[in-house]
Amino acid sequence: MSAIPKTEHFVINWHYPEPRKALDRFVGPGATRAEILLQFVPTLIITLALIAAAIINEWGWTPVQVIVAGVLMLDMIGGVITNATSAGKRWYHRAGQGFRQHMLFVLIHIAQPTLVVLFFDPGNWAFVAGSYGYLVLASLLILLTPLYLQRPLAGLLLVMGFFLSFYVLPIPQYFEWFLPVFYTKLLSSHLLREEPYRPSSEVQK
């Protein structure tokens, strides 16, 4: 028996169709129905589970806090999956998407930890500074590292981010999940360039 996985039903295809709608620019043009379902269904289920946990366990969240937490969860979980799909990989790593574009994508994510502090732990700016500072530093290290070393380095930095979250930073109550998902979305799912394996039915133009 061969130890090499069979890949005859899949092709590596960096060519994507022209985006025709706003969703294409989010999930990647040419995303299959399976990719879209994988992105949206689990994300919705997990978000509803968070909201249910807040209500059942009486966390004391106001309706506004429930909405903010739900939006954050949708963004984080959805981002982990979307950026990891092959449709997403070839879109976010297409020609013209280099260091500047990837760092800009990372930098705008200061909004997420800031929202957590503003709505759930006012004054805890150490959380924002520490979590965001580590994100920027780790992203710079990954992007400035040769491509063949980026994946193992990202794995190392991701694990270090977990330890930072578990044992160092002052995490707002009920947001223990936030930084592991936050760092997975950006350091692993988004920044890493990987081959876009596509179903063989997708014809390369």
pLDDT of residue 92: 96
- Cite the beta strand spans of the chain per DSSP E: 10-12, 197-199
pTM of the model: 0.91
* Residue 166: count of CB within 10 angstroms of its CB: 12
Among the listed residues 184, 162, 196, the one whose alpha carbon sits nearest the alpha carbon of residue 79 = 184
CA distance 160 to 94: 29
pLDDT of residue 116: 98
pLDDT at 187: 98
Mind spelling out the 3-state secondary structure of 110-168?
HHHHHHHHHHHCCCCHHHHHHHHHHHHHHHHHHHCCCHHHHHHHHHHHHHHHHHHHHHC
User: pLDDT digit string (tens) for 86-102?
Assistant: 999 999 999 999 999 99
**CA–CA dist 92, 139 (Å, integer):** 15
pLDDT, position 5 = 54
Classify the C-alpha dihedral 176-102-68-134 as positive or negative.
Answer: positive
Q: Which two tokens stand for residue 3?
A: 């130890």
Listed as ranges, residues in the chain with pLDDT below 50 are 1-4, 204-205
Per-residue pLDDT at 199: 87
Beta carbons of 191 and 2 less than 8 angstroms apart: no
